[in-house]
Chain A
Amino acid sequence: MKRFAVIVFPGSNCDHDAYHVINSMDNTSVNFIWHKESTLDDYDVIIVPGGFSYGDYLRAGAIARFSPIMKAVIEESKKGKQIIGICNGFQILIECGLLPGALITNKNIKFLSKPVFLNVVNNKTSFTHLLNNGDIISMPIAHKQGNYIADESTLKELEENSQIAFKYHNDNPNGSLLDIAGIFNKQKNVLGMMPHPERASDQNLGSNDGFKIFESILES
C-alpha cells in the first residue's frame, strides 16, 4: 500500500486528474493536501500537480514555492520520498530549488496544448523502471513556460549524473535546451516534467503511456 498526497494550491487544475489516476490503482490511497498544511509525514509519494498556482503571477511557480506545504515537501525529499512535479508542479520544484535550471517562456511565446512524443532517457529510476530507454511515449503538453534552460555546467552535470528523464522526440515544441522534457534530482527521488502523464493514463483518452510512470512509482 502506497499513500499518495496531491498538493492543491489556489489555481491548481490538474489535481483531480492526478487523484483520479491514483485512485483507480489497487494498493494505493490518495488525499488532497491544501497548500496551507505544513506536514506530509503520513505520505509515501507527493504529487505537485499542474495548473496556474497564484495565477502564474510574477513567474510560474514563484509564489507557490513559499506556501507552507513546500517546506514539508523539501523536508520529505531529503528523507528520500518520491516527489513528482508535473507542468506547474515542475515549475514550482525548480523555483524552490529541488531541481536545477529554469523554465522560461516558450520560444514562440505561444501557450502550447497538444500531444507530443518523448524519448525515455533514463529508466533506472523508481519513476521509470517499467519503461525502456529509447521507448517513444506519447502524452500531452499544456504550457507557456516550459522552455528549459540551465548554464553549461548544470547541463553537463545533468548528463553526467543521468538526470535527464525524458527528451522531446523529433520536434522540440518549446525550445528547451538538449530537448529536455523532464529531469530528476541527483538522488533520483524527485522528478519534474512538463508533459502530463496523468492526462495520458487511459487509452480512451488517446494514450496510457503516462500510466507506466504511476505504475513504476507504485511498484518501486
Chain B
Amino acid sequence: MKAKIYITYKDGILDPQGKTVGGALNSIGLSNIDNVTIGKFIEMDFDQKISIDEAKKIAEESCEKLLANPNTEKFHYEILDTE
C-alpha cells in the first residue's frame, strides 16, 4: 500500500517559482502554456497489513498536521494498492 501526496499553493498565493519556470518555458519556444505552478510530491509506503481506509486516514492526518500549511497550501492524494 502506497500513498502519492500532492501539495500545491492555494489559489491566490504567489508562486514565484512557477511563474519563473513558466516564463522560461515560454522563452524556449513552448507556447500555449497558460500557467505553471510548482508544488511538492510526497510518496508514503505503508505497512502491508493496513486497509485502504486506514491508509487514507493516515495520509489525510499527515497532510493536515504536518505536510501542508493550511494557510497557504492545499493537498490531495491517491492510495495505490501495490500488492
Contacts and interface: CB of A to CB of B under 8 A. Distances in A.
A111 interface: no
B66 A109 contact: no
Contact of A104 (B14, B40, B67): B14
Contacts of B26: none
Contacts, number: 33
Contacts of A95: 69
B13 interface: yes
Nearest to A104: B72
A66 B72 contact: no
A135 to B, nearest CB: 30
Interface string A119-152: 0000000000000000000000000000101110
B16 A66 contact: no
A58 B66 contact: yes
A86 B16 CA distance: 24
B16 A107 contact: yes
A95 B16 CA distance: 21
A204 interface: no
Would you list the 5 A-B pairs with minimal beta carbon distance, nearest first?
A: A102-B71, A102-B72, A109-B16, A59-B69, A104-B72
Interface in B1-53: 13-14, 16-17, 20, 40
Contacts of B14: 104, 107, 147, 149, 175
A158 interface: no
Interface of A is mostly: loop
Interface residues of A, number: 19
Nearest to B66: A62
Contacts of A109: 16-17, 20
A105 interface: yes
Nearest to A154: B71
A101 B16 contact: no
A175 B16 CA distance: 11
A144 to B, nearest CB: 11
Contacts of A102: 69, 71-72
Interface string B45-83: 000000000000000000000110101100000000000
A108 interface: yes
Interface in A138-183: 147, 149-151, 175
B66 A105 contact: no
Nearest to A108: B16
Interface in A96-110: 101-102, 104-109
9 contacts: A58-B67, A62-B66, A66-B66, A102-B69, A104-B13, A107-B16, A108-B16, A109-B16, A150-B71
